[in-house]
Structure 1
Amino acid sequence: MISNMSRSLGVLTTEGGEMLPRGYVGNPETFDFPIITETVAGAYMDRLWARDPSIEPALITAALRLVARGAIALTSDCGLLTWHQARVAASVPVPVVLSSLPLLPLLLRQLPQMAKVGVLSVSLPSPYDNEALGINDPADRSRVVFGGCEGAYEQSVKTRFPLKETGSHRLASLEADVVGGAARLRAEHPEVAAILLTCAAFPCVAPALRQKADLPVYSITDLCRLTMASLS
């Protein structure tokens, strides 16, 4: 449940959207611990895609409000906020995981040297460069491959003007987009042995993807659970 009690996960939310199903990081039914949320003023999707640095003051203000309300760790409902990870982490006294990308170095270590990690975004080309990936070793970087789930933006990602569709139709369409994106990625890169989801909406369909791809699938919600478990 959403709660104002202490020891909650604080979720920084973007502007202009609606609540997505269980699995979405901003849905209180996703976790077995309470969450509290703060909307980042002006954090619309077009500004996040453009890596607009002017949203950082509002982002930090919202982060500080969550900590004051009892958040013991912070996350966000958009992986594109990863560009602001360092600034937010330097501004608050609690762990910060604004995207799933901090999991990437760990996944590379879990797999054989010849295996690759597939990073699924809403579309290609991927918006994430080596700085965002947190990988400096060229050998490690060569094991990271990108896939796009074209169509998923319209089905899942929050925009200023969300599509007027039923929740069940959007979820089914999102599942088809993500499963299709993973299939294309694996066809191009058969060495993929694990999939990392970068969009905070994709965990809504992660169980279906795990079943159909028969691979480990990781997301921001997994990282949130790990972070909160380390603090509880």
Structure 2
Amino acid sequence: MIGRALGVLTTEGDSVLPRGYVANPETFDFPIIAEKVEGAYMDRLWARDSSIEPALIVAAERLVKRGAVAVASDCGLFSWHQPAVAAAVGVPVILSSLLLLPLLLRQASRAAKIGLLSVSLPSPYDDAALGIENSADRSRVVFGGCEGAYEQSVKTRYPAEVTISEKMAGLEADVIAGATRLRASHPDIANILLTCTAFPCVAPALRKKIGLPVYGITDLCRLTMGALH
């Protein structure tokens, strides 16, 4: 058993795990342990297939038994199952960066907007996933897509002749382009929230390029684990 570790629920399939990715042990200064969720393929997550929820809970419970003091995930689309997993385990559950959204709304002026960057548009997240009931707050949330980012991301198997550094360069270009388009459409954006768990890999470059605070799942993980240590 590994003590004081962050548990990470992972999707099915092979993933490349560069530094900065939530499931890479080199990303954090605390240990992580991972459990693959049986049947959690990307097409089922995009379809909001509720039948994967029992397997998700089982995997989360295994993480806790192995010593996880908090449970995160390697895909923001697990957010649909946040309430069920949180109810099933006795540790903090942080399946998606969307949990930061209420904080970011309060952090900024009421006249400012919060930009949510997803893999593509339309955004897969509805009002229930956002967790915002106030219509004034909801009007401040705007969506941007990083078309092309999924193909470049750590979720996708890549040809042997393409290096991980080339993949990450492509991901960086796509995410910066998506953020630039979003800011051009909404110049009153105060913060950027990355909904895809691959995007934090290129967050430092994005912050430098656009000059705005950028948040993602890895920031939420550090906040949660810091509160527990």
TM-score (norm 2): 0.98
Gaps of 5+ in 2: none
* 2:168 paired with 1:171: yes
The residue matched to 2:40 in structure 1 has which SS? Answer: coil
Shift of 1:58: 0.8
Shift of 1:163: 2.5
Shift of 1:157: 4.8
CA distance in 2, matches of 1:20, 1:69: 22
CA distance in 2, matches of 1:19, 1:65: 23
The residue matched to 1:90 in structure 2 has which SS? Answer: helix
In structure 2, what is the equivalent of residue 185 of structure 1?
182
In structure 2, what is the equivalent of residue 137 of structure 1?
134
Return structure 1 stretches of 4+ with deviation > 6 angstroms: none
* 2:151 paired with 1:154: yes
* 2:39 paired with 1:42: yes
Report the count of equivalent residues. 227
CA distance in 2, matches of 1:200, 1:152: 12
Any residues of structure 2 matched to 1:95-106 within 5 Å, and which?
95-106=92-103
Gaps of 5+ in 1: none
Deviation per residue, 1:115-146 (Å, 9 max, x gap) = 00000000000000110001000000000000
User: Is the 1:19–1:27 Cα contact (8 Å) retained in structure 2?
Assistant: no
Which one-letter code corresponds to 1:217 in the other structure? Answer: V
Shift of 1:108: 0.6
Any residues of structure 2 matched to 1:202-217 within 5 Å, and which?
202-217=199-214
Any residues of structure 2 matched to 1:34-73 within 5 Å, and which?
34-73=31-70
User: Is the 2:57–2:88 Cα contact (8 Å) retained in structure 1?
Assistant: yes
CA distance in 1, matches of 2:22, 2:228: 18
Shift of 1:147: 0.2
In structure 1, what is the equivalent of residue 7 of structure 2?
10
User: Is the 1:19–1:26 Cα contact (8 Å) retained in structure 2?
Assistant: no
The residue matched to 1:123 in structure 2 has which SS? Answer: coil
2:86 equivalent among 89, 93, 108: 89
Which one-letter code corresponds to 2:179 in the other structure? Answer: A
The residue matched to 1:223 in structure 2 has which SS? Answer: helix
TM-score (norm 1): 0.96
CA distance in 1, matches of 2:42, 2:100: 23
The residue matched to 1:173 in structure 2 has which SS? Answer: helix
User: Is the 2:15–2:154 Cα contact (8 Å) retained in structure 1?
Assistant: no
The residue matched to 1:184 in structure 2 has which SS? Answer: helix
Which one-letter code corresponds to 1:72 in the other structure? Answer: V
